[in-house]
Structure 1
């Protein structure tokens, strides 16, 4: 985007008229006075995009970043949307929570001002909260909507603004577009937008402890209802990775009689700097190192972890004196298998996962006579699909490979706290059968086939490069020739263009999203993969799965598929994209790209 000098001067003036935060005003005036026009243009020349993930980005001054002003603008737009488009529920109020990141508490309080200004009641959590407590609170309080201020597992300099609607699920299209339009129409801060609100009939700050107690009771009851006799799990080490999980999970464990666990002392308290990890994401290599070192020192063979806002759950088990870190797919099928084992399912039970997650859940569900539903990527889809399915089915479980697990009996979003409790219950049950989570996983592979995955990404220098890559793939001969390297293409699905070679009318059954880039191919050798542009990061992500009769066959198949994509698509069509030279498969095998 090119911004002229006159336009830039006008944008600076507008920013300084609207922004009353001294720190971000100073950032803009310093940039103006030192005359770095490129930086100013990037900060002010475009707006941070509001989408189905709400807002997420770097905290800094400017319309393109997360800051007090852009949070006020988003909140004013959301408040106007609720008041004008859904006046019948506006009086039900909005739940607002926040994590422990820098500025999260301030952003939450500024957000509350917008709703109160339109006489929409606000249930403002006065304490740092785990993310699942907001969708749970929306349902429990029967609110019109919910806002969670969090950047989940992003780096320390980021923050975000996640929106839920009255059904307790994340907003989805076309609602995001409608809210974005309302934001554009309400950019100038309203009177009192920057003021510290006093308690009145519209601002309620005493809801947190009440909702937390109800949430803990619900998780406690749901967990204990899954087994005839509750028994504690084996001793374990716990880390919330400097996030808010440590404010909730240890107390929940103790309330259920789980006392033999060791928190990672360096990581158990919230710290917005995340000082002991390069990235506060349990999926990242090295994120669980300190927890595993603590477990070695404490002679414990199990690690339980949450990401910083506790909506994701991770686990590792010591196997033959070395640590095995479960992938999101591993944990998803383990949790599903436990739920299938302990619940008396009726024919109207349903489970679901996303198209980038393992196909093993579908096999398991069909074997039990349970309805399986595939969804697009993200819990914005799975939460809303679950709500729709509930008209005909008892929806028991949903998951996505990125360590996200949903239990609709608790809430309609990913919930790392509940997932950890169910996993610990499963561990106790399997231990009584002479199994561990790892050996249980191997038994599932023996029954349903060895599912090996290789999930990674190519770093894209720009959205234009990403678009050119997908355009070149679509314009190539691959779909008609039905070949990709040495693989035969059995099925081709394009969720951007709306094409599926398997259906009678060549239209996909999943919703088409022309605003994203997403291709899924089914190949021979039991391989299928999805290539998609990330909606929040400068990445093109690839999710490869192969199902074979042995681990070795699965490893070879997914590694060969990655090389085919790399050599036939990425290198010829997007040579500026970068990628890791060492890629781990789901079984821990490291695949080196020379």
Structure 2
């Protein structure tokens, strides 16, 4: 039994002792009963899974299913995280000028327990003397990083699990920069959480009338919408507008999307909202999985669009930090625009409408995203930067470049996330929707659809296609063994070929090696706790990494060819080679969809 919070490998604490400790700390009747019932039933396995390890605090904060126990999201673990965050902040951050208190922006979405968890977090911050900038009603995730910078707050917390299943919730932490935390803050906060003892207050009502609470929803929303208007200025005229169908997938995006869409003349019959998915519903009753990337997630929206003769469907995930679109083709089929395709479409629009100094212009993408943005940057002579996966890196690296004199105008990741730094230094699904709608008006004037614009971009910068997928791993230990085997495939050293293709560059961000640099060391950060390998072949680049939040090995494969078909075939060929050579059946890995 591993116990980072409750004990060590040298002094293992009996599970009944951990259960008693839980009951001594927890004041939530529902979760106390869960542990009491398991104790009475002597269900050792269930107690071990719930209490034997603490929910990990990483660069995205906390995320897990909602149950009793140190390993899950519940009132006690949220309070412990909040006390730890407050203690770390007070110990490491310089106090604001003029004797003012530190402040934390606090938001929540419509998931089960989100409001309660946010109110408990507020109570913890207030008892530590920290001012709470309180939305007090449902917001989409980008409102928190926006408000941090708008109000000059020290940090921010958003209670959400984004597009995870309905049983999950999360606790997402941002720093004063308005970007998600990166090392060393994540490790420092985790250590502070482990040191938390008794919880000082469980009274969530203190947020309602406390002198150190400032309600910010109305003013922050006005400022946010103002930033969106500047992002898409000049606004299209009513004559340019084409009707669209929108779904927030039972999430919180509709009020924000509707307001900016109204300003862009998407009103009345020009903006149809999928009625069955319009209102926030934490049970997500019409979709098996509330992620617009998943197959079938847009079915309701497409049905509504076809019924009303509409050719464009747009969607946000439940906390509206991601964006997805689909376009009906002349034959009636729907093109589901991938994250990489949308990334290059939005980048091209940003480039075409940019009026600043192009010698400073900068765009970013993560290492698992399309290299097409890099090709565009080389052709158009603007700066491109590659980062590690996740918007914590896109945001923080982008701000470093900004401080060095660059002007960061756009960043994206293939998992349908898009960042517009003039609004937030994080992904924003509402901002992405607004930019896409603005771009559609421009392309329409040029006689182009989204697909037609994509084809023009492929003709100019090269044809790129991906074959991304994932494998479900039985355990983290198995994942480690798989990557250990890969690193020794060629007589004890890393592979020199994949199928018939020679490995031209090998980068290992776990062990810290890179055959493509002069000193053999990667330019990107190395993390021994995370598995990530990247290979460059003659015509294909791919990355294999272990997921930090799911029991998966993710594969990102992209090829460049003389045509779309050729590029797709190249990517599929390498995927087949990898499945045969790198991931044999003996490890019990399951391919996506099996």
Bigger Cα displacement from structure 2, 537-546 vs 230-239: 230-239
| CA-to-aligned-CA distance 1:459-494 (integer Å, 9 cap, x gap) | 011000000001111122186561112221111100
For 1:264-343, list aligned pairs within 5 A. 264-319=274-329, 320-343=331-354
Offset, 1:6: 6.7
| Mapped pair 1:375 → 2:403 | no
Distance 1:420 1:228, change over 3 A: closer
1:17 to 24, 37, 47: 24
Q: Show the counterpart of 1:168.
A: 178
| Mapped pair 1:102 → 2:115 | no
| CA-to-aligned-CA distance 1:430-460 (integer Å, 9 cap, x gap) | 0011001111001111111111111110001
Give unpaired runs (5+ residues) of structure 1. 583-594
SS of the aligned residue for 1:262 comes to strand
Q: Show the counterpart of 2:373.
A: 361
Contact 1:451 1:547 in 2 (8 A): yes
Q: Show the counterpart of 1:36.
A: 43
Offset, 1:254: 1.4
Q: Show the counterpart of 1:7.
A: 14
For 1:423-438, list aligned pairs within 5 A. 423-438=436-451
Contact 2:323 2:429 in 1 (8 A): yes
Q: Show the counterpart of 2:95.
A: 88
Offset, 1:510: 0.6
For 1:204-243, list aligned pairs within 5 A. 204=214, 206-225=215-234, 232-243=240-251
2:211 to 192, 201, 204: 201
SS of the aligned residue for 2:305 comes to helix
Give unpaired runs (5+ residues) of structure 2. 4-10
1:490 to 504, 510, 514: 504
SS of the aligned residue for 1:561 comes to helix
| Mapped pair 1:74 → 2:81 | yes
SS of the aligned residue for 2:573 comes to helix
Contact 1:114 1:193 in 2 (8 A): no
Offset, 1:195: 5.8
Offset, 1:580: 3.1
Bigger Cα displacement from structure 2, 483-492 vs 465-474: 483-492
| CA-to-aligned-CA distance 1:162-211 (integer Å, 9 cap, x gap) | 0000000000011100010111111431245666444222122x211110
For 1:512-551, list aligned pairs within 5 A. 512-524=526-538, 526-551=539-564
TM-score, normalising length from structure 2? 0.95
Contact 2:237 2:264 in 1 (8 A): no
SS of the aligned residue for 2:14 comes to helix
Cα distance in structure 2, aligned partners of 1:345 and 1:461: 51
Q: Show the counterpart of 1:384.
A: 396
Contact 1:231 1:428 in 2 (8 A): no
| Number of matched pairs | 578
Distance 1:423 1:11, change over 3 A: same
| Mapped pair 1:257 → 2:265 | yes
Contact 1:97 1:131 in 2 (8 A): yes
Offset, 1:229: 6.8
Contact 1:92 1:142 in 2 (8 A): no
Q: Show the counterpart of 2:254.
A: 246
Cα distance in structure 2, aligned partners of 1:193 and 1:120: 16
2:487 to 474, 480, 488: 474
Cα distance in structure 2, aligned partners of 1:467 and 1:287: 33
SS of the aligned residue for 2:584 comes to helix
Offset, 1:513: 1.1
Offset, 1:7: 1.3
Cα distance in structure 2, aligned partners of 1:245 and 1:480: 46
TM-score, normalising length from structure 1? 0.95
Distance 1:123 1:2, change over 3 A: closer
Q: Show the counterpart of 2:6.
A: none
Offset, 1:358: 0.2
Contact 2:248 2:317 in 1 (8 A): yes
Offset, 1:87: 3.8
1:419 to 420, 432, 445: 432
2:419 to 391, 402, 406: 406
Cα distance in structure 2, aligned partners of 1:49 and 1:399: 26
Q: Show the counterpart of 2:466.
A: 453
| CA-to-aligned-CA distance 1:383-440 (integer Å, 9 cap, x gap) | 0011101121111000000000000000100001010000000000100110011110
Offset, 1:221: 2.1
Cα distance in structure 1, aligned partners of 2:218 and 2:251: 19
Cα distance in structure 1, aligned partners of 2:432 and 2:498: 38
Distance 1:193 1:512, change over 3 A: farther
**Aligned Cα root-mean-square deviation (Å):** 1.7
For 1:34-73, list aligned pairs within 5 A. 34-73=41-80
